[in-house]
Amino acid sequence: MVTTSNQATNLVGLSRADYRGAASTLCQGCGHNSIAAQIVAACYEMNLVPEKVVKFSGIGCSSKSPTYFLGRSFAFNGLHGRMPSLALGALFADRTLEAIAVSGDGDTASIGFGQFKHLVRRNLPLVYIIENNGVYGLTKGQFSATAEKGLELKHQGTNPFLPVDLAMEALISNATFVARSFAGDPKQVKELIKAAIAHQGIAVLDIISPCVTFHNHENSFHSYSFGKTHEEPLHEISLVLARDEITVEDFERGTTREVTMFDGSTVVLKKLESEYDPTDKMQALNKLQEAADNNWLLTGLLYVDPNVPILFDKYNIPETPLNRLANEKLRPSSEVLDAINNSMF
């Protein structure tokens, strides 16, 4: 890749510019833009090769954002709520690809609820980012299923229903990596994306991403002011690449818990909570319930199990991408057909 010499480059010789996408067409100040910027930073720091990354999204404001990062990567912007099935089929073509998917709360918690949960259940290796703002933005402000009870909107009045908690939904569908973050906390967002990339199976990141235009009421879970004042980080998190040993020393062992990811890298959790163990699913569920009861925006890595076999481990497919198999591997010989004909009555 051609990079100018005065720019910093990563281990694969690329500069940050190589990870950028087109200019955003979302509203000024949209949380989604901040997330796109952190995806760029995370991919740069994780030394991903853009040509080895494939991006997916559904429909909605969130689903536009793959345009705004990794402009050199392949991408498919599918149907509303049905990105999971599209991604699953596509990744069978080349299992060596890194996949980053961006969805929204309408896309994931409503129309695509079924596909989301089934994707999680299958443990497809995919970073699944939900840019969660509790509102339908492109259709100019209707409640989504993650909107809190009691919120007021112009046309619909008061929201009478309790919200869907996507982190909880992911957990009970046996997700192998579940995190929640806040778009206004770029450092945590970036570190969680890096950890998600390092995770071998599905990584669900529910990122509260305030809608500046339709849903930024001060008392709302999905607003900047709420996030800034109610965010309760579980722990500070850093991803340490396997080959990058120096930073490990920066952490005080006594206050951290390390989780070794499948690729050999380590997620280091600096615990603010006394005994939070992100490998304990029941504790994660309890924490989420406690947070909901107390109106906290609980952020951090809620749960991870790095050792669960991924979808492709359940198949007898080669490491060689299926889409590069030669035609002669795909059509049995005429002798085989003769045998089939002869085996018929």
Partner 1 sequence: MESELIEKQAMIENDFCITFSTINGSGSATANITLMRALFRMGIPVSGKNIFPSNIQGQPTWFTLRVSKKGYLGRVKDDDIVVAMNPASLEKDIAALVPNGVMLVPDDLTFPELRDDIIVYKMPVRKLLKETNVSPAFRDYIANMMYVGVLASLLKIDITLIHAALEYHFKGSQKAVESNFEAVKLAFDWAEANLEKRDRYITAPMNGTEGYIMTDGNTAAALGSIFGGVQFLSWYPITPATSLAETLHDSLPKYRQDPETGKDTFAIVQAEDELAAIGMAIGAGWGGLRAMTSTSGPGLSLMTEYVGLAYYAEVPVVIWDVQRVGPSTGMPTRTSQGDLTMVNFMSHGDSQMLILIPGTIQECFEFGWRSFDIAERFQTPVIVLSDLDFGMNQWMTAKFEYPDAPMDRGKVLWEKDLDQLLEKNGGVWGRYLDIDGDGIPYRTLPGNQHPRSGHFVRGTSHDEFAGYTEDGDTWVANFGRIKKKIELARESLPEPVVQLREGAEVGIIASGSVDSAVVEACDLLSEEGNNVDYLRIRGIPFNKAIKQFILDHRVTYVVELNRDGQLSQLLTMDFPDVAYKLRKVAHMDGLPLPAKWITEQIRKSEEN
Residues that bind partner 1 (CB under 8 A): 1, 49-52, 54-55, 66-67, 71-79, 82, 84-94, 96-97, 114-115, 118, 315-318, 321-325, 327, 329-332, 334, 336-337, 340-341, 344-345
CB of 74 to partner 1, least distance (A): 4
CB of 114 to partner 1, least distance (A): 6
CB of 73 to partner 1, least distance (A): 5
CB of 265 to partner 1, least distance (A): 23
CB of 36 to partner 1, least distance (A): 14
Smaller CB distance to partner 1: residue 101 or 297? 101
Smaller CB distance to partner 1: residue 18 or 45? 18
CB of 33 to partner 1, least distance (A): 17
User: With helix as H, strand as E and coil as C, how does the chain read?
Assistant: CCCCCCCCCCCCCCCHHHHECCCCCCCCCCHHHHHHHHHHHHHHHCCCCHHHEEEEECCCHHHHHHHHECCCCEEEECCCCCHHHHHHHHHHHCCCCEEEEEEEHHHHHHHCHHHHHHHHHHCCCEEEEEEECCEECCCCCEECCCCCCCCEECCCEECCCCCCCHHHHHHHCCCCEEEEEECCCHHHHHHHHHHHHHCCCEEEEEEECCECCCECCCCCCCCHHHHHHHEEECEEEEEECCCCCHHHHHCCHHHEEEEECCCCCEEEEEECCCCCCCCCHHHHHHHHHHHHHHCCEEEEEEEECCCCCCHHHHCCCCCCCHHHCCHHHCCCCHHHHHHHHHHCC
Smaller CB distance to partner 1: residue 162 or 317? 317
Smaller CB distance to partner 1: residue 33 or 299? 33
Smaller CB distance to partner 1: residue 22 or 242? 22
